[in-house]
Structure 1
Amino acid sequence: MNRRDILKSVGLIVGGTVIGADAFLLNGCTFSEEQVGILSNKQIKLLEEIAETILPHSEKSPGAKDAKVGPFIDRIVSDFYTTQEQQVFLEALAKYKELDFESLKQEEKKAILLKEEKYIEENDQYTFTNKETGKSFETRQPYVMIKQLSVWAYLSSEIVAKNNFNYLPIPGKYTGCVEVTPETKPMYWKQGSRGALRKI
């Protein structure tokens, strides 16, 4: 599977085109743990609270916080979003901060995100107006950005790959006939030393 096919697959998983992903996947860039993006530690913490509400921890599966989705999202937004997309993303986080999202009860957090889900079903596009220049442009809804990146970061984390999938490094042992039951996990492959998993 080539990188353009991967890009399309990720888009299908999270429901549409992944904003900012084209540059990341098609250029094949890697990150180091020392890089610092445009988000502050408080913003990353807030972002992980939102992501955890979307992808909560359970007895069988790790949550978004376990997968440490915040730093991954920070790097994507910092390095591959356009300046305009970054403005939309930051404004969205500011609105969640105004709601004091982190301090809300779990049911209240869910109610806010369900309201967002319902809204984007009826309003796919979002018009952003720059307060300084007065210029406007259309983009995807800010919540869609957050949700897409949360799911992308979650699925690409090592802890999720090894916990929720049958993790099979390639090359590996070949088994010609495997019994499949309702409990059988889907496969998650890693090719060579430059595979898809993030080590966290």
Structure 2
Amino acid sequence: MSDAKQKITRREALKTALAGSALAATGLLLGAGMPGDAEAAPATPSPAQDDRTLLEDIADTLLPTTPASPGARAAGVGAMMVLMLADCESPEAQQRVATGLQDLRAACRERGGSFASLPVAERERLLTELDAAAQKAGDKHWFNSVRALALQTYFNSEVGLTQALRYIPVPGRYDGCVPLEPGQPAWA
């Protein structure tokens, strides 16, 4: 057999693949900059960062920290909401949410500041008004998507699954109908 047509073993193929993916990952990290690098950090927040912060503030108003469980901010739902919106929603829904967030920012400026700077009661009142409008408009309202994303990302997070819901990793048996005691959280 000639040197040009040498057979490669499975072990050599895996080594080559792993080395290639390690180099690619290193290149991505170096190209993107590391978090905390002074020159890599933007001077002003990008629109995506603004949206992430606003979405997390909305989720934390909908799912606040209580004595029984941490809130949406503690679960870090903002990044996942942005990711789910970008990867799982249609471009039309993404545009509706982006336009809705801009409208919400404008409404907050009329009330005296950003959403995060408003008192909790005012944030709740604003979201209640949005929810009423969304119920009338149906599936085409942007707030329905944001509320669904907030609930989905929170209750699929470790915090939401293990602290807000009652969680047993390996149940002993299946019970189709288990009565809840007063104040007991729902089962995960």
> What TM-score do you get using the length of structure 2 for normalisation?
0.63
User: Aligned equivalents of 1:89 and 1:183: distance in 2?
Assistant: 35
User: Aligned equivalents of 2:156 and 2:71: distance in 1?
Assistant: 13
Greater strand proportion: 1
Number of matched pairs? 136
User: Aligned equivalents of 2:72 and 2:132: distance in 1?
Assistant: 22
1:183 to partner: Cα distance = 4.7
Q: What is the correspondence of 1:1-200 to structure 2 with a 5 Å cutoff? A: 40-98=48-106, 99=108, 100-124=114-138, 140-170=140-170, 173=172, 181-188=181-188
User: Unaligned regions of 5+ residues in structure 1, if any?
Assistant: 1-33, 126-139, 189-200
User: Aligned equivalents of 2:92 and 2:125: distance in 1?
Assistant: 28
Q: Could you say what secondary structure the match of 1:123 adopts?
A: helix
Cα contact 1:39–1:74 (8 A) shared by 2: no
User: Aligned equivalents of 2:180 and 2:86: distance in 1?
Assistant: 42
1:120 to partner: Cα distance = 2.5
Hey, what does 1:131 align to over in structure 2? none
User: Aligned equivalents of 1:47 and 1:69: distance in 2?
Assistant: 8
Moved more, 116-125 or 65-74: 116-125
Cα contact 2:134–2:142 (8 A) shared by 1: no
User: Aligned equivalents of 1:124 and 1:117: distance in 2?
Assistant: 10
Query: Which aligned runs of 4 or more in structure 1 are off by greater than 6 angstroms?
Result: none
Query: C-alpha root-mean-square deviation of aligned residues, in Å?
Result: 2.6
> What TM-score do you get using the length of structure 1 for normalisation?
0.59
1:151 to partner: Cα distance = 0.7
Greater helix proportion: 2
Cα contact 1:73–1:149 (8 A) shared by 2: yes
**Amino-acid identity (%):** 24
User: Aligned equivalents of 2:130 and 2:179: distance in 1?
Assistant: 41
1:94 to partner: Cα distance = 1.4
User: Aligned equivalents of 2:154 and 2:84: distance in 1?
Assistant: 13
Computing the radius of gyration from Cα coordinates, the structure with the larger value is 2
